[in-house]
Amino acid sequence: MAAAPAPSIDGTEISREEIQRRLHDPSLILVHTLPAESYAAGHIPGALSLPAADVTARAPEVLPDRAAEIAVYCGSFTCPVAEQAASLLRALGYTNVRHYRGGLADWTNSGGVLEQSTEPVPDLVTIQPMVARSTTVRTLQRRPWGAMLLDAIEGQSPSRLFVAWLAMIVACSALYWIAGLSAHHGLLAGAEHVGFTLHGLGTAVYFSFITATSVGYGDVVPMGAARLVAIAEAVSGLLVFGAVVAKFVSRRQDELVREIHRVTFEDRLDRVQTSLHLVLSELQAIAALCDDGQVRAERVGPRLESAALVFAGELRAIHDLLYRPQWAPPEAILGAILASLAASMRELRDLLTCLPPGFTRSPTLAGALATVGRLADEICGHCVPFTYAPALTVWMDRIQALARSLA
């Protein structure tokens, strides 16, 4: 881990210790400047999401008070994103912007916990986190108790549910047996009252089992208070036993769904690699025209536009692969994808420098190139929210450097 730089004397930096001390201080606004996918994967508790790329357009809405104390952060000491966001905020008139240089790496290495978003993060997070959390608590408190009970049952494993079901049967058996001490409560087997004896215990266990799994066989019936116990056991038993059966049935379905996702993911990796090879080949073919001195705008324009559009689409898929991976790709495959991406970025950079002086970029080409530059600039070893092998982070940093050379 990189050593922390010395604190600045002008007060524009903020330490981890101060953030920890003021974590619930409403006068300090923490801002997560990495993309929304990174915010969803993990952020400092209470932080707002404002990606650096959106600061100019969205800061006035997300941060209406330009005099508020704002602390921005990104991935680590070497991540430049937060410093860029801080400069943009100061240019917009924010007068009290501070920079937490350590970012997520320093926070987690010191034992700090991260919040995660279980739902997709919108482009704008304009609600103060404390208000959002209190609203969530109030919403949970207003939920019907029946719905909360069903959720609690659904959240248990099949083994725990089965044990709970057996425990309920045993507990109700004891209640039926104890009720046999009274002549007006307990169970009737035929016309005889089931007493508090060993034989009565066996009858109580038998009745409890059939009550928990069905409506009973009619050879044993409850009396008095035992009827209420039987009703409660029948309802609870059907709910729990039904949940157990449903979980066993759905287990195979879950395995099939996971297998489908795995196959789809592997197909997606193959498609990305194939498309990157095609893009690289097309860029090299266009660059060959420059080498031959036969480059003409009417020939290069459509081909470059088509290649840039495909490149932007595949780069978006790689961006999602790094920021929102549903499966962890093998290191060798991810390394090959990043190497192909870096080669394509380098070829595109060289190609743009050899275009004729009178070449005019169409709006489609300009938009595709802007997308390529923006997405590639967010790929670096200290920007993505997951840890990869050092060899892969070298490729990521190289891709980011090539993206910035396109500007």
Structural domains in the chain, CATH included, are 16-141 (3.40.250.10), 147-223 (no CATH), 251-406 (1.20.1050)
d(CA 356, CA 43): 46
Instruction: Answer yes or no: is pLDDT of 25 > 50.
Output: yes
Please say if the pLDDT value at position 5 is more than 50: no
Q: Would you state the pLDDT for residue 220? A: 86
How high is the pLDDT of residue 139? 40
Q: Whole-angstrom Cα distance, residue 382 to residue 78?
A: 7
pLDDT in the model for residue 79: 77
- pLDDT of 237 reads 81
Tell me the backbone φ, ψ of residue 46, rounded to 5 degrees. 90, 0
Beta pairing partners, 193: 188
Q: How far apart are CA 390 and CA 394, in angstroms?
A: 6
Q: In whole angstroms, give the CA distance from residue 330 to residue 339.
A: 14
Percent with pLDDT over 90 in the chain: 18
Instruction: Single out the residue of 121, 129, 119 nearest to residue 29, CA to CA.
Output: 129
Stretch 226-240: mean pLDDT: 84
pLDDT tens per residue, range 266-315: 888 888 889 899 999 988 888 887 766 666 667 778 888 888 999 999 99
Amino acid (one-letter) located at 231: I
CA 222 to chain CA centroid, Å, is: 52
pLDDT in tens, 321-331: 887 666 667 88
163: number of CA atoms within 13 Å, CB side? 5
The number of angstroms, rounded, from the C-alpha of 123 to the middle of its chain's C-alpha atoms is: 15
The pair phi, psi for residue 14, each rounded to 5°, is -135, 140
Q: Which of 101, 102, 75, 104 lies closest to 86, judged by CA?
A: 101
The 10s digit of each residue's pLDDT in 106-144 is: 898 888 888 886 544 444 343 344 434 444 443 444 556
Residue 104: name the closest of 27, 41, 36 by CA.
41
78-108 per-position pLDDT tens digit: 777 888 889 899 989 999 999 999 888 889 8
Give the 3-state secondary structure of residue 100.
coil
Q: How far apart are CA 51 and CA 383, in angstroms?
A: 12
Q: Which of 234, 176, 167 is nearest to 205 (CA)?
A: 176
pTM over 0.75, yes/no: no
Residue among 235, 228, 229, 188 at smallest CA distance from 213 = 235
Check residue 291 and give its pLDDT: 66
